[in-house]
């Protein structure tokens, strides 16, 4: 068909079609009279291009995906995660504007507004500048084998299976519920819910981890995102689980992560986290000192390379936000936290 017919069929303009041709996204053949002929293949590609442009993918990304004969899933995940970050940023801005309105008629407003703007800037950086220091993409393929190795004098995966089992038991999910596993990795915890027939989404900041997880658990809903920008709608899930992931988030960001979890959790929803942490700061200090006294450098280095939580801070945040909390400790640094949202939490 000719360009006018193709444009009509696709509810677009010949000019738009020409633009995509100029950008190298489509290459229709030319008839002997010089007219471009749009075969079914070009019309199908144009349909894809128009749809992907509408949700904000760049022509460059679309071109790459078309050239690689991709199924676009990865591009759509990336786009979703970017849009989600933007949405949260707009919310943060609106909340700041509201706070600014409150002080705008008062003395000293300039300084207060500046403080608010500074806070907002910090928040924006946290939401958008997540950086994976440990290169989990690189670890994804060998992850399941590596958790079986025990380390020389410090085994972070001691009681791993037991911890995942207990998270699953404590959530006590029913079939009509839906959950999310954050920092799901290859989906070892997710599997316990899937095999029970429970609907799960998995979130991870690593595309490779999500890929491996998807291969191990075909059909599982994978979403690219991170603790401070969860790619989920408000109150979308009945429970949130996470294992061995929160300790990759700096301590000063953990409360913001709890706030994000609170946003996506339904009323009376549960959060169950199994992770490496200390009871409190004095327990962190004494544990580190005892490893140092033993000369266990492996333990000290491993702990100092990551951000084991101060459990008391997490509990305090939940209690201040209307959650009921219970805890279990497997060994000196592996803890299980259960928190149930009893009222609407923070907004």
Ligand X SMILES: C[S@@+](CC[C@H](N)C(=O)[O-])C[C@H]1O[C@@H](n2cnc3c(N)ncnc32)[C@H](O)[C@@H]1O
Helices (H) and strands (E) in the chain, counts: 15, 10
Sign of torsion, CA 111 114 120 121? Answer: negative
Kindly state whether residue 185 participates in binding ligand X, applying the rule CB under 6 A: yes
Instruction: CB nearer to ligand X: give 36 or 263.
Output: 263
Which of 305, 249, 301, 304 has its CA nearest to residue 275? Answer: 249
The residue ranges of DSSP E strands in the chain, in sequence order, are: 29-30, 36-37, 178-182, 199-204, 221-224, 237-243, 265-278, 309-310, 323-331, 334-341
Integer angstrom CA distances of residue 344 from 232, 257, 261, 319, 341 = 17, 17, 13, 13, 7
Q: Which of 7, 46, 249, 302 binds ligand X (CB under 6 A)?
A: 249
Count of residues engaged in binding ligand X, rule: CB under 6 A:
19
Contacts for 244 with CB less than 8 Å, ≥ 6 apart: 156, 160, 183, 185, 274, 275, 276
Instruction: CB nearer to ligand X: give 6 or 209.
Output: 209
Q: Which of 188, 201, 212, 315 binds ligand X (CB under 6 A)?
A: 188
Kindly state whether residue 193 participates in binding ligand X, applying the rule CB under 6 A: no
Contact 184, 204 (CB under 8 A): yes
Q: Which of 28, 179, 183, 269 binds ligand X (CB under 6 A)?
A: 183
Instruction: CB nearer to ligand X: give 222 or 287.
Output: 222
Instruction: CB nearer to ligand X: give 58 or 146.
Output: 146
Site string for ligand X, 118-157 (x = CB under 6 A): ------------x-----x---------------------
Q: Which of 191, 243, 263, 264 binds ligand X (CB under 6 A)?
A: 243
Instruction: CB nearer to ligand X: give 211 or 248.
Output: 248
Collapsing DSSP states into helix, strand and coil, what is residue 198?
coil
Q: Which of 226, 254, 263, 335 binds ligand X (CB under 6 A)?
A: 226
In the complex, minimum distance from the CB of residue 43 to ligand X, in angstroms, rounded to a whole number: 40
Q: Which of 25, 173, 245, 303 binds ligand X (CB under 6 A)?
A: 245
Which of 90, 48, 98 has its CA nearest to residue 71? Answer: 48
Kindly state whether residue 307 participates in binding ligand X, applying the rule CB under 6 A: no
Q: Which of 248, 254, 284, 335 binds ligand X (CB under 6 A)?
A: 248
In the complex, minimum distance from the CB of residue 89 to ligand X, in angstroms, rounded to a whole number: 17
Q: Which of 7, 184, 299, 309 binds ligand X (CB under 6 A)?
A: 184
Which of 165, 223, 221, 222 has its CA nearest to residue 196? Answer: 165
Q: Which of 45, 204, 260, 262 binds ligand X (CB under 6 A)?
A: 204
Instruction: CB nearer to ligand X: give 127 or 321.
Output: 127
Phi, psi angles (nearest 5°) of residue 236: -75, -25
What span, in angstroms and rounded, lies between the C-alpha atoms of 297 and 179? 38
Determine the angle formed by the axes of helices 14-22 and 40-54, rounding to 10 degrees. 90
Contacts with ligand X, residue ranges (CB under 6 A): 130, 136, 182-185, 188-189, 204-206, 209, 226-227, 243-245, 248-249
């Amino acid at each position: 068909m000719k360009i006018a017919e193709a444009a009509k069929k696709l509810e677009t303009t010949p000019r738009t079609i020409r633009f995509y041709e100029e950008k190298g996204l489509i290459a229709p053949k030319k008839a002997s009279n010089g007219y471009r002929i749009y075969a079914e293949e070009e019309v199908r590609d144009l349909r894809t291009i128009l749809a992907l442009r509408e949700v904000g993918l760049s022509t460059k990304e679309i071109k790459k995906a078309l050239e690689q004969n991709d199924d676009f899933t990865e591009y759509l995940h990336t786009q979703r995660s970017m849009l989600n970050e933007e949405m949260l940023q707009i919310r943060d801005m609106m909340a700041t504007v509201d706070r600014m309105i409150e002080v705008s008629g008062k003395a000293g407003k300039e300084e207060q507004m500046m403080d608010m703007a500074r806070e907002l800037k910090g928040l924006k950086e946290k939401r958008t500048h997540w950086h994976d220091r440990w290169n989990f993409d690189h670890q994804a393929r060998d992850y399941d084998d590596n958790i079986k190795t025990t380390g020389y004098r410090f085994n972070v995966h001691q009681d791993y299976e037991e911890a995942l089992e207990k998270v699953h038991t404590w959530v006590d999910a029913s079939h009509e519920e839906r959950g999310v596993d954050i920092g799901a990795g290859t989906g070892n915890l997710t599997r316990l819910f899937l095999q029970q027939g429970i609907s799960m989404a998995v979130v991870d900041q690593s595309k490779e981890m999500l890929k491996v997880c998807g291969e191990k658990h075909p059909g599982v809903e994978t979403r690219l995102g991170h603790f401070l920008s969860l790619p989920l709608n408000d109150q979308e899930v009945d429970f949130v689980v996470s294992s061995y992931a929160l300790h990759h988030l700096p301590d000063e960001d953990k409360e913001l992560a709890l706030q994000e979890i609170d946003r996506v959790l339904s009323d009376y929803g549960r959060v169950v986290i199994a992770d490496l942490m200390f009871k409190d700061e004095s327990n962190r200090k004494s544990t580190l000192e005892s490893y140092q006294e033993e000369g266990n450098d492996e333990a000290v280095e491993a702990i100092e390379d990551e951000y084991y939580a101060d459990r008391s801070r997490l509990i305090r945040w939940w209690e201040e936000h209307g959650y009921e909390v219970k805890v279990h400790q497997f060994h000196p640094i592996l803890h299980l936290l259960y928190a149930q949202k009893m009222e609407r939490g923070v907004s």
